[in-house]
Amino acid sequence: MESVTVEEERAAVSYAIDKKVISVSQMQTAISGTASDVLENVPSITVDIEGNVSLRGSSNFAVLIDGRPTILEASDALEQIPASSIKDIEIITNPSAKYDPEGTSGIINIIMKKNMNTGRAGLINLNGGIDDRYGGDILFENKTEKYTVTFGVDYRNRFTDGFNEEENHTTTDGVSSFVLSDGNSRRGRNSYGLRGAFEYRFNPKNIIAFNARYGDRDSKRISSLDYQEWSSERASRVLYNSNNDRSRGGYYYAFNTNFTRKFAKEGHELIGQVSVSKRDGDEITINRLLDYETNAITEGRRSLEAGPSEELEIEIEYVLPLKEDSRFEAGYESEFDRSTEETGLADYNTTTGEFETLDQFSNTTKYQEDEQAFYSMFAGKWKNLGVQSGMRVEYTNRKVGLARTSEEFTVNRWDFFPSVHTSFQLSEEKQLMASYTRRIDRPRGYYLEPFETWMDAYNVRMGNPNIKPEYIDSYEAGFQTFFGKNVFSTEVYYRVNHDKIERIRSAYADNVTLHTVDNVGTDYALGSELMLNLDLVKNWNINLMGNLYNYRIEGVLYEESFERESFSWSTRFNNQFKLGKSTQLQINARYNSGRVSSQGSSEGYFSTDLAVRQDFFEKRFSATVQIRDVLNTAKWERTSQGADFYSYDFHDRESPIVVLNLRYNINNYRQERNRDRNGGDEGGDFGEDDF
């Protein structure tokens, strides 16, 4: 008999008891981009035009890669990973006690592609577009019955031109100062990365694996601006120009080894894991003020932030199946973080033409943070009711040392993090879900530095070593139903942040703003998410998503009570058309409304993306043309104000952005249909599954 291949499209979004799973293969408008580009079109996520990601209105979330923490900041990690190397993205808004509770709004877990079939296979992706955008990645894998070897390499260059406009007012000693600026900017990054893995199966019960990643990245922001400056005591305007260069980058690496011991009973296993990682990053900002007529440098300032960060993590996880549809899990995690940060400032000497260091602004800070965690969980099912509950206990020992003054700030604290997830199957097509978790958001390192650090010529930062962590209570309830091939789901969520940490601005000097941080009070977010996936007619799939939420923050700022509130919403309307067996068209539209903070607000924006994919040679080769922000409507606009300052920022990037992506599939690289440990469905790599 001849073999028969049955192909079926995977749903773009699927749901489990504690997460949403996004099939990246369905996101053709982002295939040449990064993980951040994919997230622009998924539930619970908003991404502004600068690539800043928010999960349910909060930028405080954790990023995992294949379930393991990344040494990079969340935003950097998402910008480093090529979309073409990603299989799925898991959005975990209420993580269980098994996961590190760090992050206000949850976890984004990136699942990288892996070939499930034996033999040699791989992928080659190349992309290039207008406005200095190009890159590519290669993934190769060789799998036998005994071992699997995986190797990947990627390079990415992404730069975009834009227009900037700023307005700042400050009031000090009764004198109001004003500065206006506008001009052109260029921002972006280039990066490369290597990853490799080796897995050896002694037998079906004993498996050891080694994973390694190495990369380097360099992000730049360059601007040429025209300035006007005056004050309430000097009405005549001073005109000058400026050249501003900011670069941030450095290398990073991570090494992980894990051993899995499986026992006789299905699902009974013990997993041990050790991870070592390091990153080294420098940020240099140079501002040069130029005479309006002669273009000679009249003033200049260079600020520096640099230092390495190292991390060692040890994990042990034990899973014991009990009766049918129930299991017990327990684990131990320890994490040891060490980092050093050096900050410095130099002024330009117009006589010598050199930058001269100002010793009073040179500081070295050493951070040490050790965490020990224990957790246990139980999951079971009784008829139509599913329950997953757990408790996590953490001990934190943190030291922040200042080299110049020999001061040391310490924290020793125990914390408890319960979690409960439930589901109820009303019928084969209808399911209810509800959950509660407690989380924490610890202050970032530079939030704790009690000295002045110049960010650029107009902004000074100063930390607060006494700042407390945020504690978050998060509640969710959801409903999901299938009707034919169509899916409708809705979720209601309520989140309370205690001891809310916010960046605060005030006037430092004439036209110079001071940035500090403090626990300003409590904020509340009450919202609802809706998703509708429809196949109205053959070869046309519609995915409609919406998020509506009310945000309120109240507390004390500069010894005065305040309260601010806003209603925010976002929506995505994604359309996918099959134009024959080998051609696909995708049109995505999204809108993100504005929102408020303790001292400011941001405006909303609308954007539309389009992609056309053509497959050749039985889908071994494909070409995709992407056009992002087709109508050039994505803008970034923000206002901040307080008793002694006012700030307005506007940024408009050059659009539309056009990119061509070429993909070659070596040996018909694809994945077998497989069930993961939590009962989730792992489908095919490119939207089709072999049965």
DSSP-assigned letters across all residues of 116-164: -SSEEEEEEEEEEETTTEEEEEEEEEEE-SSEEEEEEEEEEEEEEEEEE
Radius of gyration of the chain (CA): 26
Instruction: Give the number of domains in the chain.
Output: 1
**Angle at CA 242, nearest 5°, toward 236 and 243?**
175
Do the strands 430-441 and 452-456 form a parallel or antiparallel pair, or are they unpaired?
unpaired
Mean pLDDT, consecutive 10-residue stretches, the chain (691 aa), reads: 46 69 72 76 73 76 82 77 82 88 83 77 88 88 90 92 93 91 92 93 94 93 93 89 91 94 93 94 90 89 90 95 90 94 92 91 91 95 91 94 88 94 89 92 85 85 90 93 85 94 89 91 92 86 89 88 89 89 90 86 90 88 91 90 91 90 78 38 32 20
Residues paired with 171 in a beta bridge: 176
d(CA 676, CA 114): 13
Residue of 4, 77, 71 whose CA lies nearest to 35: 77
118-157 residues labelled b (16+ CB within 10 A) or e (exposed):
eeebbbbbbbbbebebbbbbbbbbebeeeebebebebebe
Residues in CB range of 118: below 8 A, 6 or more apart? 143, 144, 145
Q: Is 137:155 a contact under the CB 8 Å cutoff?
A: yes
pLDDT of 583 reads: 92
pLDDT of 317 reads: 95
Is residue 463 assigned to a domain?
yes
Residues paired with 647 in a beta bridge: 168, 640
CB burial of residue 208 (10 Å; 0-12, 13-18, 19+)? middle
Q: Nearest 10 degrees: CA dihedral of 615, 620, 623, 624? A: 80
Tokens of 560: 């005065």
Three-class SS of residue 96? coil
Three-class SS of residue 79? helix
Handedness of CA 645, 246, 254, 399 (dihedral sign): negative
Residues paired with 517 in a beta bridge: 503
Is residue 1 assigned to a domain?
no
Neighbours of 567 (CB within 10 A): 14
Is residue 7 assigned to a domain?
no
Residues in CB range of 156: below 8 A, 6 or more apart? 34, 82, 135, 189, 190, 191, 192
Residues paired with 623 in a beta bridge: 614, 662
Reported as half-sphere exposure (CB side, CA atoms, 13 A), residue 362 has a value of: 6
Three-class SS of residue 39? helix
d(CA 38, CA 583): 21
Verify cis geometry, omega within 30 degrees of 0, for the bond prior to 656: yes
| Element housing 320 (H / E) | strand 297-321
- 0.85 exceeded by the pTM? no
CA distances, 515 to each of 344, 463, 508, 521, 573 (Å): 17, 8, 9, 18, 38
CB burial of residue 4 (10 Å; 0-12, 13-18, 19+)? exposed
d(CA 515, CA 517): 7
Is residue 609 assigned to a domain?
yes
Q: Is 367:399 a contact under the CB 8 Å cutoff?
A: yes
pLDDT of 47 reads: 76
Residue of 8, 13, 31 whose CA lies nearest to 626: 31
Neighbours of 672 (CB within 10 A): 13
Is residue 563 assigned to a domain?
yes
User: What are the backbone dihedrals phi and psi of residue 447, each rounded to the nearest 5 degrees, phi first?
Assistant: -65, -20
d(CA 472, CA 189): 34
Q: Is 224:207 a contact under the CB 8 Å cutoff?
A: no
Give 167-170's long-range contacts (Cβ < 8 A, gap of 24+). Answer: 167/646, 167/647, 167/648, 168/458, 168/511, 168/513, 168/645, 168/646, 168/647, 168/648, 169/645, 169/646, 169/647, 170/507, 170/508, 170/509, 170/510, 170/511, 170/512, 170/513, 170/644, 170/645
pLDDT of 677 reads: 34
CB burial of residue 665 (10 Å; 0-12, 13-18, 19+)? buried
Amino acid making up residue 241: N
Q: 106 lies in which domain range?
A: 13-681
Residue of 594, 591, 589 whose CA lies nearest to 637: 594
In this structure, what CATH number is given to the domain that contains residue 17? Answer: 2.40.170.20
Residues in CB range of 344: below 8 A, 6 or more apart? 303, 304, 357, 358, 361, 362, 363
Tokens of 319: 């899973």
Neighbours of 489 (CB within 10 A): 22
| Element housing 38 (H / E) | helix 35-39
The label of the residue with tokens 């990064």 reads: 34
d(CA 89, CA 453): 37
